[in-house]
Chains A and B, each alone.
Chain A
Amino acid sequence: DAGVIQSPRHEVTEMGQEVTLRCKPISGHDYLFWYRQTMMRGLELLIYFNNNVPIDDSGMPEDRFSAKMPNASFSTLKIQPSEPRDSAVYFCASSPQAYSNQPQHFGDGTRLSIL
């Protein structure tokens, strides 16, 4: 069984550049979550989708961040323009349900460094 797949695993880019992070959820999971993890703030929910529709984007820090889910097997998180404070590990997770007794299945993250 393939788990949640994220790419790239590492990204280093200069401030001002556009960054696109990718996620393939587990097949059959209706919910997809994007998180950001830093030492200071821990694991924070950015946005989540249900059946490809964004449900709650209240965690998206600024308009520079956007997320899409064009189909059930693919999602992107885009930062444009990127800033050094965006440096973090970004995780994607999927689940059969949200906010219930179903666990979330996480990918191994994208470590993003903005210089």
Chain B
Amino acid sequence: SQKIEQNSEALNIQEGKTATLTCNYTNYSPAYLQWYRQDPGRGPVFLLLIRENEKEKRKERLKVTFDTTLKQSLFHITASQPADSATYLCAPNSYDKVIFGPGTSLSVIP
């Protein structure tokens, strides 16, 4: 069955550093992969989408990579800020389903 794994531990980093979050998937061939941010008490908010034929996508301080051979996506936040503290969900998306990963909790320490 399809399975998605994200960083098993919460991630704590110093302000100004680059945060790197990992999303691995198995038994699945997604055509797209989306990343969402979720704040406590709120619904997930869409951040970025990358297609299977794209290696990398950038938006401001965010960068996403997609390696279909490794079945992995990396999500980077450069020059991290305390306001980036949240849970980040990856969502590999095929033509008949989208499954959300369990999320990674990121804390950026001032």
Contact with B45, one of A42, A106, A109 (Cβ below 8 angstroms): A106
- Determine whether the beta carbon of B41 is less than 8 Å from that of A108: yes
Residues of A94-114 at the interface with B, using a CB-CB cut-off of 8 Å, are: 98-101, 103-109
- Determine whether the beta carbon of B46 is less than 8 Å from that of A109: no
Residues of B28-78 at the interface with A, using a CB-CB cut-off of 8 Å, are: 32, 34, 36, 41-46, 49, 51
Q: Please measure, in the bound complex, the distance between the C-alpha atom of A104 and the C-alpha atom of B97, giving whole angstroms.
A: 13
Q: Please measure, in the bound complex, the distance between the C-alpha atom of A108 and the C-alpha atom of B96, giving whole angstroms.
A: 25
Tell me whether A15 is interfacial, beta carbon within 8 Å. no
Contact with A99, one of B89, B97, B102 (Cβ below 8 angstroms): B97
Tell me whether B10 is interfacial, beta carbon within 8 Å. no
- Determine whether the beta carbon of B100 is less than 8 Å from that of A99: no
Which interface class (under 10, 10 to 19, 20 to 34, 35 or more) fits A? 10 to 19
Q: Please measure, in the bound complex, the distance between the C-alpha atom of A100 and the C-alpha atom of B103, giving whole angstroms.
A: 21
Contact (A103, B42) CB under 8 Å given A42-B102, A43-B100: no
Tell me whether A4 is interfacial, beta carbon within 8 Å. yes
Which interface class (under 10, 10 to 19, 20 to 34, 35 or more) fits B? 20 to 34
Contact with B98, one of A4, A91, A99, A106 (Cβ below 8 angstroms): A99
Tell me whether A77 is interfacial, beta carbon within 8 Å. no
In angstroms, how far is the closest chain B Cβ from the Cβ of A65?
A: 19
Residues of A63-115 at the interface with B, using a CB-CB cut-off of 8 Å, are: 91, 93, 98-101, 103-109
Q: List 24 A-B contacts (CB under 8 A).
A: A4-B43, A42-B101, A42-B102, A43-B44, A43-B100, A43-B103, A45-B97, A91-B43, A93-B43, A99-B93, A99-B95, A99-B96, A99-B98, A100-B32, A100-B93, A101-B51, A103-B34, A103-B49, A104-B44, A106-B44, A107-B43, A108-B43, A109-B41, A109-B43
Query: What are the 7 closest A-B residue pairs judged by CB atoms, nearest first?
Result: A106-B43, A103-B46, A43-B100, A42-B102, A108-B43, A106-B44, A108-B42
